[in-house]
Amino acid sequence: MYRIKIFIFAMVCSTIFFTSCDDDTTGGSGGGNVNAPFVSLQDDGGGSLSFDTTVEPGQVFRVQVDATSNVAQLKAISVSRDGFSLDVSEFDNLQVDDAEEQNPQLLFGTDKDGFLWTYEFTAPETEGSYLYDFELTDDDNLSSITSITITVEGVLEVIQPTIDVMTGSTIEAPANTLVSVNVAATMGTYDIASISVLEDGVEISDLSRIRFDNVEFDDNPMPLFSPQSEGFTESVIIRTINGNHDYIIRITDTEDNSAEGAFSIVETMTSTALDESYDFVLVSNASGPNQGGLDLDAGVAVASASPDAELRDLGIDLNQPNASNWLQQVEAVNGSTLRIVNVGNLPDGFSYDSVVSKEEVTDAFNSGNTVDPSPALQIGDLLAVSSATNIYLIRVDDIVVTASDNEDFYSFSIKY
């Protein structure tokens, strides 16, 4: 009976002993034992990683390990990746001489109470997620683990979108006509998000002037959707304006990558020969004895009240002295419209003598503002009149003022 009791006692002690060893080796911050040492990753402010991070294949990265003893002094620290102990050639402990590096690294001196070590790794070349464990063990064989997951991903190669203006680099067209520009666009890595049309470097704001796939732009840039967001071959239609201008058709993808196609539209003049040209037509002060109206079609002076007149003189100001009472003003009559030509809105070199076509007369009329009546005329002034049948360009060639009577008169040249 005594032997049996001793055997039972020995079995109980053995059970207690092995249970105690299991608790010791699995405790600490990794296993929950309050007597285990302390270990964590620190952000050193210099680029060391302390949280799960994505890096590129072969990228060098660092982690800083902060270790502190608890009840017992520290014994060793080991480094593993995905559960397998790393060879010392697979990392560099910057605080330990290369010749003395180990894994696990045994601890001596003040390091047994705590240390702050920086480890340097080269990320694997194979993409994937890798778990790096740093296991700290003390002299009581209690251990704690701190970990970081490093995800290795290759850099995405971004392919840019492309655009090709197939119509040519220079297009010739009259003003105020529709020009169709053939465009082929190919998406890159990302979908095409929008298309825009620029004129002389500025996005065209008059949306009625631009169409895509024969539909007016609803915005510029105009958003695109499938299937055109994946690439297209379509026509961009532009209504031309006066002059020569540079254009850009731009596509932009969802990540703001863009491609541009450039071209120019050169204005061609549709030349329609003038019907008539009259020189030195005299029109008198309407308050005097001579005719103060102007029949522009016939190029002759008529009575100021004549139904054939498109323009007439306004006569005198009775409140002024005889020598200066002529107003020297004209007004449009019988349904006509009078404008002062603004040469600044016309092509360089424009002059009355250079005009050889009806289109140029129309451009001159469109360049200016309507007046009713005109300001006091001066020699060299350019006027334009539009009637129900024609548009006329008029130059004031001479103004003769008579001080003692109302026989003052103008001399006009007329083209239409």
DSSP string, 251-315: EEETTS-EEEEEEEEEE-----B-S-EEEEEEEE-TTSSS--EEETTTTEEE-TT-TT-SEEE--
Each residue's pLDDT tens digit, 166-225:
988 999 999 889 999 999 999 999 999 999 999 999 999 999 999 999 899 999 999 999
Amino acid letter, residue 300? V
Residue 32's pLDDT is: 66
Residues 352 and 162: their CA atoms lie apart, in Å, by 48
Amino acid letter, residue 50? S
Residue 21's pLDDT is: 35
Residues 310 and 293: their CA atoms lie apart, in Å, by 8
Q: What are phi and psi of 361, to 5 degrees?
A: -65, -45
* Residue carrying structure tokens 């040519």: 168
Domains, the chain, in order of start with CATH, read 24-152 (2.60.40.10), 162-267 (2.60.40.10), 277-415 (no CATH)
Residues of the chain with pLDDT under 50: 1-30
The enclosing H or E element of 361 equals: helix 358-367
Q: Do the Cβ atoms of 407 and 336 come closer than 8 Å?
A: no
Each residue's pLDDT tens digit, 347-359:
889 999 999 999 9
User: 10 Å Cβ neighbour count for 120?
Assistant: 13
